[in-house]
Amino acid sequence: MSSIELEGGFNYGVGMQVDGSVAVVTGAGGGIGAGIARALVASGAKVVLTDLNEDGVSEVAASLPSDSAVFASGDAGSVEHIDEVVRLAESTFGPVDFYFANAGIGGGPGLQATEEQWDAAFNVNVMAHVRAAKRLVPGWVERGNGYFVSTASAAGLLTQLGSSTYAVTKHAAVGFSEWLSATYGTRGVKVSCLCPMGVDTNLLRPNEPAPAGSDEELMQRAVTSAGRVLTTDEVATAVLDAIADERFLILPHPEVLDMYRHKGTDYDRWLRGMQRYQSTLMS
């Protein structure tokens, strides 16, 4: 397999080639999305960055070469915004080859989560992926090539203590990615699903600390005590590695696979372990 040498000395084998491609990255105003956008541009891609936070996404775009990156701000779950972003990519760089459905939100605590929090979590964490796929996949099937990358979470394979909305919607994101791959994988559409544990982002470490004893604090403690908290650039490297190999499951924390296997081997035992883990975190 041939390879591309990137800035920083990384080499990525060529599966569906990033160099010369056109990509859209949602949630690119910071965190994992910004890391992915930087890695893509370093690999020779042209990128449209989008985020609800206009100041954040414009700042990230301004840090990249002007001939390789443009941005738009808006709701990743909005059909109108998805159309706008795809048209921007096509008019500026050409047809979209990669779509990184990366935007995500935390959300409601336990059974106290409001209807509005549930709706928002499903809109951004699930329906944004569905609507983007509806917009792009038919064209990819017609031309026989395209790549959809969904940012879910290890919470989508395991679960998330503290936040019901996050745990449930990330499971749904993994399920949609599986369905998309099973349905279109033989028709030229590649799919990968990113499932990290702790990553050093505002979602994990917000500017305002969570109240002591709250479900939000429980969620943060569960993540930070489960394994090493990675940088966004480390996650972006794992994403590009997986794309080069066209791997479905992207696990920047390899230990998640062992946890997932343990869960499947004895579900009741795994749940009892999660109950004990939660009790330890709350004590």
Domains identified in the chain and CATH numbers: 18-278 (3.40.50.720)
Instruction: Quickly list H helices, 100-186.
Output: 115-122, 128-143, 164-184
Averaged pLDDT score across all residues of the chain: 89
Structure tokens at 51: 């985020």
Q: Let me know: does 140 contact 189? Beta carbons within 8 Å.
A: yes
The answer to whether 190 and 16 are in contact (CB under 8 A) is yes
CA-nearest of 229, 241, 164, 237 to 202 is 229
| Predicted TM-score (pTM) of this structure | 0.88
pLDDT tens string 152-190: 999 999 988 878 999 999 999 999 999 999 999 999 999
- Please tell me the distance from the alpha carbon of residue 181 to that of residue 224, in angstroms, as a whole number: 31
**Mean pLDDT, range 83-101, rounded to an integer:** 98
Name the pLDDT band for 214 (thresholds 50, 70, 90): low
Query: Would you state the pLDDT for residue 202?
Result: 63
User: Residue 212 is encoded by which pair of tokens?
Assistant: 């002591």
Contact criterion met (CB below 8 Å) for 132 and 191: no
